[in-house]
Amino acid sequence: MSRQFISGNDAFALGILLAKPAVISAYPITPQTTVVERLSEYVESGELDAEFIHVESEHSALSCAIGASAAGVRTFTATSSQGLLYMAECLPYAAGGRYPIVMMNANRAIALPWNIYGDQSDSLSQLACGWIQAYAEDAQEALDFALMSYYIAEHPQVAVPFMVNLDGFHITHTYEIVDVPTREQADAFLPPYETENRIDFARPKNMAFSAGPGHNKIFRRNHHKAMLRSSEVIVECESRFAEFFGRRYSGLVDAYKTDDAEFVLVTLGSVAGLARDAADELRGQGAKAGVLRLRYMRPFPEEAIRKALAGAKAVAVLEKDISPGKGGAVFAEVSGVCESVRLNAIGGLGGEDISKESLRSVFAMLAEGKEGELWL
């Protein structure tokens, strides 16, 4: 292991270098660009033995990744914002074909207005496309997700593509301390990809076919069940990860002082650490505050959320997205699991800073019994 001072994008690229995909297809977009720049340099220098395919669009990037994955090899792509939306047609293709592609999405606002800064509107608009969705809190977790995502996605019980989300700029372009595993450690942790779900001239089969209503239902249900099963594989993967690297993750959610908390803030991504700081300050003043960070949105952590929020008097959801005419997408989902969800804080849209003061105000409003929507 070596300790480095690098950006979230650099860390993720190192994770992918260690995971050794055979094919990378990508189209650059801010704030994802430096990830694919680094990877193209690794391929150019020979450090990474992969095909790096420069495509003409994000639609082609994912189409290309689907083709490569169907040939039975480990595959990577990365995008952001409008690029993810341009991939939208291909997202359920990759998922329905059960191709365990890993994609990094640099969370960024969607147009219009045109805005290159970070928020989570892009990925949260694609919850139903059939991909696993994870959200990193910092560069270390981003690198670790790069390795764990392949283990989970390629697991025979799962076989579903995996989208790792990094908050644009707040993670992608922020430099921090990251412990980088060695090649030997990564190779020991992550087995090579092997699958029956591939083009094989020795064993010809039909792939990516059409299906009538009856068969269609079976495929959709199997896909749904595989997503639900992935929760167990995630836990198994994290135990294995802890054995190899000494860092232990907490499954679908990261619950902070929720056991006795009366007021809980639910959020995702890089703002969670500051929310924990705010909760600690409030605890210092006698208020029982807690934070629940959703590490995964798909599979949706229904049981874990229910358990963590069981004792809470009032819960707020803070998210960097808005579904106009409804509210926050995460708020809608969490409200379906817990009756104490009162407040939907919409913040960080288009890259706006979220301060500790504004997080304290969310807790304060919860304590005052406020309900509804709160724009930070």
Partner 1 sequence: MLQIVWHGRGGQGAFTAARLLGAAYALGGMKENGRTDGGEPEKYALAFPSFGPERRGAPMRAFTKLSDVLIHDRSEIARADFVVFLDETLYAGERDALVAGPDDYAIAEKFRLPVINTIMLGRLAKKIDMPAEHIAQGIRLVMPGRMHEKNMLAVREAMK
Q: How far apart are CA 268 and CA 297, in angstroms?
A: 9
Q: How far is the CB of 275 from partner 1 (least distance, A)?
A: 8
Total interface residues for partner 1 by CB under 8 A: 28
Kindly state the tokens that stand for 157.
């019980």
Nearer to partner 1, 7 or 75 (CB): 7
Q: How far apart are CA 264 and CA 253, in angstroms?
A: 13
Binding mask 16-45 for partner 1 (x = CB under 8 A): --------------x---------------
Q: Is 185 in the site for partner 1 (CB under 8 A)?
A: no
Contact window for partner 1 (CB under 8 A) among 10-18, 322-330, 349-357, 367-375: 349-357
Q: How far apart are CA 228 and CA 269, in angstroms?
A: 22
Contact window for partner 1 (CB under 8 A) among 60-68, 216-224, 258-266, 352-360: 352-360
Binding mask 270-299 for partner 1 (x = CB under 8 A): xx-xx-xx----------------------
Q: How far apart are CA 69 and CA 75, in angstroms?
A: 6
Please identify which residue in 169, 189, 241, 331 interacts with partner 1, judged by CB under 8 A. Answer: 169
- How are strands ordered across the β-sheet holding 102-107? 51-54, 23-26, 75-79, 102-107, 162-167, 132-135, 296-298
User: Binders of partner 1 among 82-101, rule CB under 8 A?
Assistant: none
Kindly state the tokens that stand for 140.
């270390």
Please identify which residue in 82, 174, 185, 323 interacts with partner 1, judged by CB under 8 A. Answer: 174
Q: Is 351 in the site for partner 1 (CB under 8 A)?
A: yes
Q: How far apart are CA 120 and CA 110, in angstroms?
A: 9
Q: Is 176 in the site for partner 1 (CB under 8 A)?
A: yes
- How are strands ordered across the β-sheet holding 372-375? 253-256, 289-294, 263-267, 314-319, 341-346, 372-375
Q: Is 222 in the site for partner 1 (CB under 8 A)?
A: no
Nearer to partner 1, 155 or 170 (CB): 170
Nearer to partner 1, 176 or 232 (CB): 176
Q: How far is the CB of 188 from partner 1 (least distance, A)?
A: 18
- Sequence-distant (6+) residues with CB within 8 A of 296 are 132, 133, 134, 135, 234, 252, 253
Binding mask 238-277 for partner 1 (x = CB under 8 A): --------------------------------xx-xx-xx
Q: Looking at residue 191, what DSSP letter applies? A: P
Please identify which residue in 38, 170, 295, 298 interacts with partner 1, judged by CB under 8 A. Answer: 170
Q: Is 353 in the site for partner 1 (CB under 8 A)?
A: yes
Please identify which residue in 117, 135, 151, 189 interacts with partner 1, judged by CB under 8 A. Answer: 117
Which residue, 36, 20, 14, 180, is CA-closest to 106?
Answer: 36
Residue type, 26: A
Q: How far is the CB of 290 from partner 1 (least distance, A)?
A: 15
Which residue, 145, 124, 136, 143, is CA-closest to 167?
Answer: 136
Q: How far apart are CA 332 and CA 330, in angstroms?
A: 5
Residues of this chain that interact with partner 1 (CB under 8 A) are 1-5, 30, 116-118, 169-170, 173-177, 179, 270-271, 273-274, 276-277, 351, 353-356
